[in-house]
């Protein structure tokens, strides 16, 4: 871009010089100019000695030697020449100067050249060009960025939590280092590897580690960089990218988010996108066409393998599909060790304990957790990161940041305490339910209170008993409110609980085959075309008649009614513990698993670690502990976020 600006400035300087020169050509001296009538009178009086006629311009000298010039009017004056000759004035003529053809062309074409230069500058900017490689017409040049082997410092030691994916890709390193080892047995190097998985699991990091281990050049480009506003540009860029790769073979080409260019052909609105399909066709030919691209390995990453074209996924193009999933507890521990090496840690930091409390976290989530802990430590002016900061960071990510500027009056605070105590008691006593990790009535995010469950181990499926236990615990908060205030005093704080409980009950009937009356049939199917792998689902397609729909509704209602009755019975049987837990929440605002166990064992809960009684130094010791400052928020939007346990605790198929 700097070079182009210099060129534009140079053209402007040349234009200014030319305009100055042209103006000088047409400039005449104003000091001795006289009017034409004055000139005629001087001729008639005999005061003119010599004249030079140059078109309409007449210049000369007087009898006394003074020079002059004048401009003849466009009207003809045939008497002038007679007067000049009669007065013995020397008359000279001058041939008009003829400009060369090149000068005329330069003058005529200069505005056009200036307009072209400006047009080319703006077109270059539209194409993302600048002063780098290529010129204004380099639309078809590849935008792939080349990282030489000596610049890639990432190795497999920097990749953790995806051992199976590493094993699948470690062979590539051997292929690139010692191809003869496999070729003598007839083996061929894989053409491509497709890495699939949720966001943040380390697909790009793994591809870079392969290049770092093999010590080969690494081309990196995004799928969206191929397609531009001009037809044919994408295909041209694919050709140029593989031409560059051939010059650096053996090498690796990494295409991030390949679904931007590799979508199924003919599946778009109106029959597809011609430019994107041309780009895909060229990519298919380059990866496995008549010309072999020996030594070039294409690694692509995507969250959406389901939308890719089948021709792209066949062996010979992407020979392997490597799934980089969410890490398990051992993988999370390894990832945390990698990230904790980069921050100064206290001796009490236990990565295993943090890994146990972060099911469903991706590598990016864990990196964010360590960074948040470092920020907490910096704000506290600490030199080392300890477990306290890591726990604070985990709570912030799982439950949201504390809303310290929000104030609830004692009535709302008490209602929230009973609501969360109801969730906690049901979750504690129901079979196959995740253990309660922490309960708080401090507002976090959109919730007025939080009851958080954490599984002891990673879960990949849930039984019918476990699902019914979840439904029971979700209704525990509403039932506790009803026990204290009556049906007319129930608040809107359970709206999210009701929504989640209804969703679980409906999925039990329509998706998971957990209804004895309806049997193991799938009555609804998720349309996953709009979501990530194991991510949010889209619209649902129904496969049942209106009569079956009535039976489904009845079964869903039966599950909810049974769970509601079970939760109500349990809370009535533990009414005294409900009161004690609500009282503890009013006093301490947050209690953990230790205090919860003491309450459920019939003991008085101990004070949380590091807690100091704010009323100890106050004469008004009988008053309630004040809530955090600020205005009360409407409880309609303050839905619970109970049971935050991450992706790992979701039922299979959800």
Catalytic residues: 420
Cα–Cα dist 614/589, whole Å: 12
Cα–Cα dist 639/495, whole Å: 6
Cα–Cα dist 73/142, whole Å: 66
The answer on whether 651 is annotated among ligand-binding residues is no
Instruction: Give the pairing type, strands 218-222 and 145-147.
Output: antiparallel
Cα–Cα dist 537/535, whole Å: 6
Two tokens at 414?
């008490």
Two tokens at 609?
């670690």
Two tokens at 233?
């540009």
CB 209 within 8 A of CB 241: no
Other Cβ atoms less than 10 A from the Cβ of 132: the count is 11
Cis peptide before 250 (omega within 30 of 0): yes
DSSP 308: B
Strand, coil or helix: what is 644? coil
The structure tokens 């694919």 sit at: 238
308-334: string of b/e by CB count within 10 Å (b at 16+)?
bbebbeeeebbbbebbbbbbbbebbbb
Torsion of CA 149, 151, 157, 162, to 10 degrees: -80
The answer on whether 148 is annotated among ligand-binding residues is no
Strand, coil or helix: what is 253? strand
Cα–Cα dist 392/388, whole Å: 6
346-377: string of b/e by CB count within 10 Å (b at 16+)?
eeebebeebbbbbbbbbbebbbbbbebbbebb
The answer on whether 212 is annotated among ligand-binding residues is no
Other Cβ atoms less than 10 A from the Cβ of 43: the count is 18
The answer on whether 204 is annotated among ligand-binding residues is yes
The answer on whether 111 is annotated among ligand-binding residues is no
Cα–Cα dist 193/301, whole Å: 9
The answer on whether 55 is annotated among ligand-binding residues is no
Other Cβ atoms less than 10 A from the Cβ of 83: the count is 14
Q: By C-alpha distance, which of 567, 571, 595 is closest to 581?
A: 595
The answer on whether 128 is annotated among ligand-binding residues is no
The answer on whether 497 is annotated among ligand-binding residues is yes
Cα–Cα dist 316/123, whole Å: 38
Q: By C-alpha distance, which of 649, 635, 609, 645 is closest to 441?
A: 635
User: Cβ neighbours of residue 620 under 8 Å, at least 6 residues apart?
Assistant: none
**One-character DSSP codes across 488-545:** GG--GGGHHHHHHHHHHHHHHHHTS---TTT-S---EEE-GGGS-TTS----EEE-S-
Q: Counting Cβ atoms within 10 Å, is residue 136 exposed (0-12), middle (13-18) or buried (19+)?
A: middle
Task: With residue 114 as reference, give the H or E element that holds it.
Answer: helix 101-126
The answer on whether 520 is annotated among ligand-binding residues is no
CB 479 within 8 A of CB 460: no
Q: By C-alpha distance, which of 439, 423, 526 is closest to 475?
A: 423
């Amino acid at each position: 871009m700097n070079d182009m600006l210099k060129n534009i400035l140079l053209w402007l300087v040349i234009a200014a010089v030319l305009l100055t020169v042209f103006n000088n050509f047409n400039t005449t001296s104003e000091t001795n100019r006289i009017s034409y009538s004055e000139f005629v009178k001087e001729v008639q009086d005999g005061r003119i000695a010599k004249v030079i006629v140059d078109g309409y311009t007449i210049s000369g000298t007087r009898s006394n030697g003074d020079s002059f010039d004048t401009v003849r009017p466009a009207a003809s004056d045939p008497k002038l020449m007679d007067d000049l000759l009669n007065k013995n004035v020397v008359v000279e003529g001058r041939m008009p100067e003829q400009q060369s053809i090149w000068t005329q062309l330069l003058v005529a074409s200069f505005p056009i050249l200036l307009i072209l230069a400006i047009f080319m500058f703006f077109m270059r900017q539209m194409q993302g060009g600048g002063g780098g490689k290529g010129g204004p017409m380099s639309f078809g040049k590849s935008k792939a960025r080349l990282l030489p082997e000596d610049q890639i410092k990432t190795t497999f030691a920097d990749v953790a939590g995806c051992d199976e994916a590493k094993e699948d890709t470690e062979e590539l390193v051997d292929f690139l280092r010692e191809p003869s080892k496999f070729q003598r047995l007839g083996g061929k190097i894989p053409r491509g590897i497709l890495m699939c998985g949720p966001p943040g699991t380390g697909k790009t990091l793994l591809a870079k580690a392969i290049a770092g281990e093999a010590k080969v050049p690494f081309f990196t480009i995004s799928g969206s960089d191929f397609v531009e506003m001009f037809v044919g540009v994408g295909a041209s860029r694919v050709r140029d990218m593989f031409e560059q790769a051939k010059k650096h073979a053996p090498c690796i080409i990494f295409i991030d988010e390949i679904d931007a260019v590799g979508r199924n052909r003919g599946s778009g609105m109106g029959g597809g996108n011609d430019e994107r399909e041309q780009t895909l066709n060229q990519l298919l030919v380059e990866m496995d066409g008549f010309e072999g691209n020996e030594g070039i390995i294409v690694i692509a990453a995507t969250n959406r393998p389901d939308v890719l074209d089948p021709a792209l996924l066949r062996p010979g193009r992407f020979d392997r599909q490597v799934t980089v999933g969410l890490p398990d507890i051992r993988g999370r521990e390894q990832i945390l060790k990698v990230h904790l090496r980069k921050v100064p840690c206290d001796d009490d930091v236990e990565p295993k304990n943090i890994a146990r409390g972060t099911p469903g976290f991706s590598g990016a989530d864990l990196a964010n957790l360590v960074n948040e802990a470092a920020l907490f430590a910096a704000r506290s002016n600490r030199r080392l990161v300890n477990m306290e900061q890591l726990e604070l960071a985990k709570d912030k990510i799982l439950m949201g940041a504390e809303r310290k500027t929000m104030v609830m009056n004692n009535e709302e605070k008490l209602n929230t305490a009973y609501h969360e105590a109801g969730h906690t008691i049901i979750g504690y006593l129901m079979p196959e339910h995740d253990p309660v990790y922490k309960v708080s009535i401090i507002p976090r995010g959109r919730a007025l209170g939080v009851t958080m469950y954490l599984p002891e181990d990673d879960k990949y499926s849930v039984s019918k008993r476990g699902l019914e236990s979840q439904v029971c615990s979700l209704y525990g908060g509403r039932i506790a409110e009803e026990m204290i205030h009556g049906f007319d005093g129930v608040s809107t704080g359970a709206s999210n609980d009701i929504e989640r409980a209804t969703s679980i009950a409906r999925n039990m009937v329509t998706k998971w085959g957990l209804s004895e009356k309806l049997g193991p049939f799938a009555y609804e199917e998720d349309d996953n075309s709009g979501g990530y792998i194991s991510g949010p689902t889209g619209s649902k397609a129904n496969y049942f008649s209106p009569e079956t729909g009535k039976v489904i509704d009845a079964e869903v209602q039966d599950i909810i009614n049974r769970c509601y009755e079970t939760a109500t019975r349990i809370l009535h049987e533990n009414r005294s513990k409900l009161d004690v837990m609500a009282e503890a929440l009013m006093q301490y605002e947050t209690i953990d698993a230790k205090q919860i166990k003491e309450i459920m064992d019939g003991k008085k809960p101990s004070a949380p670690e590091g807690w100091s009684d704010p009323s100890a130094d106050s004469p008004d010791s009988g008053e309630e502990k004040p809530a955090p400052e600020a205005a009360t928020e409407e409880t309609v939007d303050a839905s619970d976020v109970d049971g935050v346990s991450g992706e790992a605790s979701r039922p299979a198929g959800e």
